[in-house]
Amino acid sequence: MGNRRNFLKSGLAAAAGLALSPWNTLEAASKKKAKGPGGPVVLSTWKFGIKANEEAWKVLAQNGYALDAVEQGVRIIESDPEERSVGYGGRPDRDGHVTLDACIMDDKANIGAVLCLEHIKNPISVARAVMEKTPHVILAGEGALQFALSQGFKKENLLVPESEREWRTWLKNSEYKPIINIENHDTIGMLALDAQGRLSGACTTSGMAFKMRGRIGDSPIIGAGLYVDQDAGAAVATGHGEEVIRVVGSHLVVMLMSQGLAPDEACKEAVKQIEKKFRLRGKDMKETQIGFLALSPDGRYGAYALQKGFNFALKSKAEPGKLINVPALLP
DSSP character string of 14-46: HHHT--SHHHHHHHHHHHTSPP---S-EEEEES
Would residue 99 show up in a list of annotated catalytic residues for this protein?
Answer: no
Among 208, 267, 313, 314, binds ligand ASP (CB under 6 A): 208
Interaction of residue 239 with ligand ASP, rule CB under 6 A: yes
CB 282 within 8 A of CB 244: no
Close Cβ partners of 75 (under 8 Å, ≥ 6 residues apart): 55, 122, 124, 125
Taking the complex as a whole, the smallest distance from the CB of residue 152 to ligand ASP amounts, in Å, to 27
CB 205 within 8 A of CB 219: yes
Torsion sign over Cα 165, 167, 172, 178: positive
Q: Is 218 in the site for ligand ASP (CB under 6 A)?
A: yes
The 143-182 site mask, x for binding ligand ASP (CB under 6 A), equals ----------------------------------------
Question: Minimum Å distance from CB 249 to ligand ASP?
Answer: 10
CB of 318 to ligand ASP, least distance (A): 28
- Beta-carbon contacts of residue 196 (< 8 Å; ≥ 6 apart): 39, 63
Which secondary structure element, helix H or strand E, spans residue 268, and what is its range? helix 263-280
**Nearest residue (CB) to ligand ASP, 153 versus 310:** 310
Closer residue to ligand ASP, CB minimum distance, 128 or 240: 240
Residue 267 interacting with ligand ASP (CB under 6 A): no
Q: Would you count residue 186 as binding ligand ASP (CB under 6 A)? A: yes
Interface positions with ligand ASP (CB under 6 A): 185-187, 205, 207-208, 217-219, 238-241
The catalytic site residues sit at 187
